[in-house]
Amino acid sequence: MSQRVQAWLLKNTGPLQYLVNERLAKRSGLIGRIFKGLEMGPRQYSQHTFLRAFRVVNWFYVQLYQTLGVMRPVLSRTILGVSNGPLNYTGLYLWFFLSIGIISKFRFARARDLLFFNAQDQPEFWYARYNMMFPPSFLHNRISAHYIEINHIFAIEMLKRYQLARREILAEREKHSDFEKRTKYITNSNYVFEPLGADDDKIKRMKDDGEF
């Protein structure tokens, strides 16, 4: 509804507006509830969409009638002498659809399993089916036992080298004063060194035992 039509209706329907808004809408009971939703007044947000909806419905009706009007019986029905009989387009579509499914070997029963043919490779499948928990990468990385053994040996040998290098670094670090330990690699020029207090007996005992 355009603004001009709305303004004309509001201008020329004063008695009707008074009847609906003041008399009927303010009544109690069923009548009041009905006319409360039918109160008349200016539309403040946007134009009315009722006529636009009619245009959409009309467009669909015209397209439907045009589609039905251009349909004609196929040539095979004309040859067989039943050209004036109705043609079941829905049945033909269903026949073609099912035929394509049969030719493509589609599983009509439990068809969704085709989308999850590798679902057992996912941890979510085992958790949902058997309430079993796996690490996220457990079933994705299929590693041979030979590779696992080599990786284990390699990790042990590298750990031995790391422990040796760590002991050398710690021994070399103990030769320096506390000031040099805490200021040798600083990058902040505003850093002010404040020495820590002496270690208590518990810390000294842990250092002597090699636990600190």
User: Does residue 78 surpass a pLDDT of 60?
Assistant: no
pLDDT tens profile 110-162: 555 556 666 666 667 777 777 777 665 555 556 667 777 888 899 999 999 99
How far is it, in rounded angstroms, from Cα 5 to Cα 8? Answer: 5
Q: What is the pLDDT of residue 127?
A: 75
User: Does residue 179 surpass a pLDDT of 70?
Assistant: yes
How far is it, in rounded angstroms, from Cα 188 to Cα 36? Answer: 74
Q: Say if CB 50 and CB 3 are below 8 A apart.
A: no
pTM above 0.85, yes or no: no
Rounded to a whole number, what is the largest CA-CA distance in the chain?
Answer: 114
Backbone torsion region of residue 144, taken as left when φ is above 0, otherwise alpha when ψ lies between -120 and 50, otherwise beta: beta
H-run or E-run covering 66: helix 50-70
